């Protein structure tokens, strides 16, 4: 049987990650911190974040996870930049992000 996240897990994952300790696995928290660091305008991985990553992942896993994050983030930026709507949306469907006119 497939196990999904509970609403509480989603709240913990999208909220204060320091408060999520014990609620989510350390590996998940480390990965979410990496997402937070790599998806800002000027990403920086500080020593503390790197140590947390190394405690949860090997170097190859860190590289793979980082690559997946930046590809997904870049793809999302492309979609937003060009105002691309999913196929099932219409022009009347508002975009889920603010659009400057």
Give the pLDDT confidence of 81-90 residue by residue, as tens digits: 888 877 777 7
Domain assignment of residue 2, yes or no: no
> In angstroms, rounded to a whole number, what is the distance separating the alpha carbons of residues 39 and 74?
9
Neighbours of 29 (CB within 10 A): 20
Residue ranges for the chain with pLDDT beneath 70: 1-2, 101
Q: Is 97 among the domain residues?
A: no
88 domain residue, yes or no? no
Question: 42: part of which helix (H) or strand (E)?
Answer: none
Q: Is residue 100 situated within a structural domain?
A: no
Sequence-distant (≥ 6) Cβ neighbours of residue 43 within 8 angstroms:
37
Asked if 53 and 30 touch (Cβ cutoff 8 Å), the reply is: yes
Q: Compute the radius of gyration of the chain from its Cα atoms.
A: 17
The number of domains in the chain is: 1
* Assigned domain for 53 exists: yes
At residue 23's C-alpha, the angle toward residues 15 and 51, to 5°, is 80
Residue 91 domain flag: no
According to the model, what pLDDT value does residue 47 have? 95
Q: What is the pTM of this model?
A: 0.76
Q: Which domain holds residue 70?
A: 7-82
Task: Please indicate, yes or no, if residue 99 is contained in any of the structural domains.
Answer: no
- Examine residue 37 and state whether it is found in any structural domain, yes or no: yes
């Amino acid at each position: 049987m497939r196990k999904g996240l509970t609403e509480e897990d989603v709240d913990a994952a999208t909220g204060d990650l320091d408060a999520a300790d014990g609620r989510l696995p350390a590996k998940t928290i480390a990965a979410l911190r990496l997402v937070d660091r790599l998806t800002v305008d000027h990403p920086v991985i500080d020593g503390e974040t790197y140590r947390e990553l190394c405690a949860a992942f090997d170097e190859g896993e860190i590289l793979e996870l980082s690559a997946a994050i930046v590809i997904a983030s870049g793809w999302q930026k492309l979609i937003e930049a060009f105002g691309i709507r999913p196929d099932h949306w219409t022009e009347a469907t508002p975009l889920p992000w603010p659009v400057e006119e």
